[in-house]
Structure 1
Amino acid sequence: MNTLIILDRDGVVNEDSDNYIRSVDEWIPVPGSIEAIARLSKAGYTLAVATNQSGIARGYYPLSELEAMHTRMNQLVQEQGGHIDCVRYCPHGPDEGCQCRKPETGLVDQIEQHLNMSASGAWLVGDSLKDLQCARRKHCQPALVRTGKGERTLAKGEGLEGVPVFESLADFADHLLGHF
């Protein structure tokens, strides 16, 4: 069993916005998500976050603000007794042709290198088709949450074959940890 769990950030860990999350003040956790990460961490899972952050390339917020958001996320998880082992982000715009913007697999490659472990068989929890496509390309187990853009992704109905759907990250954690 692979103990790595890779999480998309916006819409899975924190509330999402079509106008981008531009500051620590706008970074608001999805109810139960911080506790879910802490519970998974305490149960022995290795937690990583892989997030597209094209708002940097678009000039919506500086790298320092993104780092402040990730510091806040880590602090909240630590306050609950958990730990996020790795955070990787793609700062590029959608037309830059990089290898790290999901559905490409570069962020997962970076996580594998940093943690010195394979993502094959790991869970990758997201709210968009791009997350699910990335998971499949890296032989991860995709999971979709209804939070963030999850409902929109479900409504489109494409690429969902065999993908378990959860109400939220907390629901996913309950399922994985056997707390039904």
Structure 2
Amino acid sequence: MVLGVGAQKRAVFVDRDGTINVEKDYLYRIEDFEFIPGAPEAIRLLNEAGFLVVVVTNQSGVARGYYTEEDVEILHRHIAVELGKAGARVDAWQYCPHHPAGRGSYSLPCRCRKPLPGMLMEAARRHNIDLAASVMIGDKLADMKAGIAAGCRTILVRSGYGASDEARVLPETSVCDDLLAAVLSLVPKCDEV
């Protein structure tokens, strides 16, 4: 698909913890990072299909003082390197460091913390994304609410917390076992990984 100058792009917004990597409370250390099987291949397939891949992740550990924004960025650079080994890339990283129980300015009300759609809206503004042609994939009801509020199609994955949230999703939300299954539902022609 060739995009004209100024043409809006399709994106897949992907939650991080429980969707791309194994859920570990307040993950920030490289040595604790572990991909969910198939996640790098899924992201590569999205790249090949012409989607922008935007990670949108709540990181309340920053607000709580467990780790810093620099720690989040270091981990994201590590993930990018590991994805590169699989021929995959994330086009943009968005994270919310806020939480009402946080410290200082991190406790202030924000528009970016999912279930609010702020991270998706900001990415759409920065990267000329057509939200109606885009998809939000995550493992929590908050991810689905953010995607719906932004006007995206939503897919809940059962990895992470998804199995426990599955019964509460709205009927228009699809449910898949993991990120790779979700991506294959979007790009069925790419079923050989």
Same fold (TM over 0.5): yes
Structure of larger gyration radius: 2
Q: CA deviation at 1:2?
A: 5.9
Where does structure 1 lack aligned partners over 5 or more consecutive residues? none
Q: CA deviation at 1:162?
A: 2.0
Q: CA deviation at 1:66?
A: 0.8
Where does structure 2 lack aligned partners over 5 or more consecutive residues? 1-7, 102-106
Q: Which residue among 127, 151, 154 is the counterpart of 2:163?
A: 151
How many residues get paired? 177
Residues 96-118 of structure 1, C-alpha deviations (whole Å, 9 max, x = no match): 32110001111011211221223
What are the residue-to-residue correspondences of 1:115-154 with 2, within 5 Å? 115-154=127-166
The reply on whether 1:11 has 2:21 as its aligned counterpart is: no
Q: Which is further off, 107-116 or 134-143? A: 107-116
State the identity as a percent.
Answer: 31
Contact kept in structure 1, 2:156 and 2:176, CA below 8 Å: yes
Match for residue 117 of structure 2? 105
More helix by share: 2
Q: Which residue among 42, 46, 56 is the counterpart of 1:40?
A: 46
Runs of 4+ in 1 over 4 A off after TM superposition: none
Q: CA deviation at 1:159?
A: 3.1
SS at match of 1:55: helix
Contact kept in structure 2, 1:23 and 1:61, CA below 8 Å: no
Normalising by structure 2, we get a TM-score of 0.86
Q: Which is further off, 95-104 or 45-54? A: 95-104
- The one-letter amino acid of 2:56's match is A
Match for residue 67 of structure 2? 61
C-alpha RMSD of matched pairs (Å): 1.7
The reply on whether 1:88 has 2:71 as its aligned counterpart is: no
Normalising by structure 1, we get a TM-score of 0.91
- The one-letter amino acid of 1:177's match is V
How many Å separate the matches in 1 of 2:87 and 2:49?
Answer: 11
Match for residue 171 of structure 1? 181
Contact kept in structure 1, 2:124 and 2:130, CA below 8 Å: yes
Note closer, same or farther for the CA distance 1:168–1:120 as it changes in structure 2 (3 Å cut).
same
How many Å separate the matches in 2 of 1:21 and 1:75?
Answer: 17
Residues 57-113 of structure 1, C-alpha deviations (whole Å, 9 max, x = no match): 111112222111101111122222222111100000145321100011110112112
Q: CA deviation at 1:121?
A: 2.9
Contact kept in structure 1, 2:138 and 2:156, CA below 8 Å: yes
Match for residue 3 of structure 2? none
Residues 125-150 of structure 1, C-alpha deviations (whole Å, 9 max, x = no match): 01111111111111100100000000
How many Å separate the matches in 2 of 1:78 and 1:114?
Answer: 23
